[in-house]
Amino acid sequence: MRYKWIPINPMGFAEAPAAPKARPPSVSETARILAEAWKDPDWGTLVWLTMMGGNRRGELCAIRWRHVDLDREVIHVQRAIGQYAGETWESDTKSESDRRVVLDPETVAVLEEHRQRCEQRAAAIDVKLSDDAFVFSREPDGSRHLRPDSVTQRFSRLVGRLGIETSIHKLRAYNATELISAGFDLRIVAGRLGHGSGGVTTMRHYVPWVSEADQRAAGPMAVRAPARPLTGALPPMVPFEARHPFEYIAVQLRDDIYQGRLPIGTAIPSVKILAQELSVARSTIHRALHLLKEWGLVRVVPDRPTLVLPTAPLTDQPLTADGSVPAEGPIAEDDRLARQVLELEVRRLGTLVTTLRAKVAADDDDSLHRLLVGAIRRQGGLPAEIEDYELVVRLPGEAKTLATYVALAP
């Protein structure tokens, strides 16, 4: 003892501190987070997928389009991006095993729209989006993955602006507690999250929060309705006599809203689902939703689910070149208006600015609006100048104009 020597190492008796609790964000917090993230559709897609799929940040960065099967509604999680200091590398997932994450219809719709944006950016530099391209990338061709630390830092800045104390990793906790509270087997939840211990890790980290999740879960996945629920009275029902297919669909949805089958604040089934269930073209569903929007019953925002809402100011409707509302008529049988590759000319005050190709329906106002706004931004313009622009739509190699899209400034 004189020389301050001891016969045993006291560190051998030390115990590791308890792991930090995986406190998930609340429903209201996730609603605010998503609302802020959707201001950038690509970023909103990443945050949405984290909440819905429970993926780790490195797994999200490593997902390539060949891993995404939108027809079968599944993502194959096979790789992950690691990072230490400034160096990144691609490796197996944390559990060193591949897994399949089944997607809900809304997430499939979100990824379809994200894929369309990626294809448009690739086409703008005259390349085809490769199946090897990363789903989330800052490069137009998707050739370079995001850095995990950058994802974490951007999310931290987002929640910091909102005054919410959470992290992107805790979105996994939100996903887990929602699934557990909805009654899903622990092994199923563990498989979706990539836990390799048969549910032990899931139970240790997330089950303590199930009682809280039970109180706030409004369904199998509360995050399915990301926008905060709206309250208030619906506007008076507008007398309307349906004559065309899209009008009959709009009336049916209107009745569902007024009779409470589609409550205020809930998401209407996606365009893809409605088109499949009703055996009509997607453009028919788009027209029905625009009619509901005119009646003040829904909010239609690009890259977001369509929500039922009470009385609210309506945004300006897109007009045709002569200033009228696009003519209505039976469109399900019109092959020209199906979603297909079209040539688009962007003109400003009659002068050609740029051309591009996109897979879109000629009467899909939402998609044409996004394409026009994106083209304006790429040319250094401002969305507020949109009244100076028009989008001329043609079939590839043909001179005949299918449609001319113009819009009023917001």
DSSP 342-391: EEEEEEETTEEEEEEEEEE-TT-HHHHHHHHHHHHHHTT--GGGGGGEEE
* Beta-ladder partners of 383: none
Task: Report d(CA 127, CA 100) in Å as an integer.
Answer: 30
pTM: 0.46
Task: Count Cβ atoms below 10 Å from residue 59 Cβ, excluding itself.
Answer: 25
Q: What letter represents residue 20's amino acid?
A: P
**CA 353 from centre of chain:** 30
Position 407 confidence tier, pLDDT thresholds 50, 70, 90: confident
Interval 84-93 mean pLDDT? 81
Look at residue 305 in the predicted model and tell me its pLDDT: 67
Confidence tier at 175 by pLDDT (50, 70, 90): low
Q: Which residue has the higher pLDDT, 356 or 7?
A: 356
- pLDDT grade for 201, boundaries at 50, 70 and 90: very low
pLDDT for residue 157 = 94
Percent of the chain with pLDDT over 70: 70
Residue 335 φ/ψ, nearest 5 degrees = -65, -25
DSSP 71: T
SS (H, E, C) 251-284: HHHHHHHHCCCCCCCCECCCHHHHHHHHCCCHHH
C-alpha span between 373 and 41 (Å, rounded): 13
**DSSP summary character for residue 336:** G
What integer is the mean pLDDT of 146-171? Answer: 89
What pLDDT is stored for residue 395 in this prediction? Answer: 86
How much of the chain, in percent, has pLDDT values that exceed 90? 15
For residues 95 and 168, the model is more confident at 168
pLDDT at 21 over 80: no
Helix-strand-coil split of the chain, %, nearest 5: 40, 15, 45
pLDDT at 64: 93
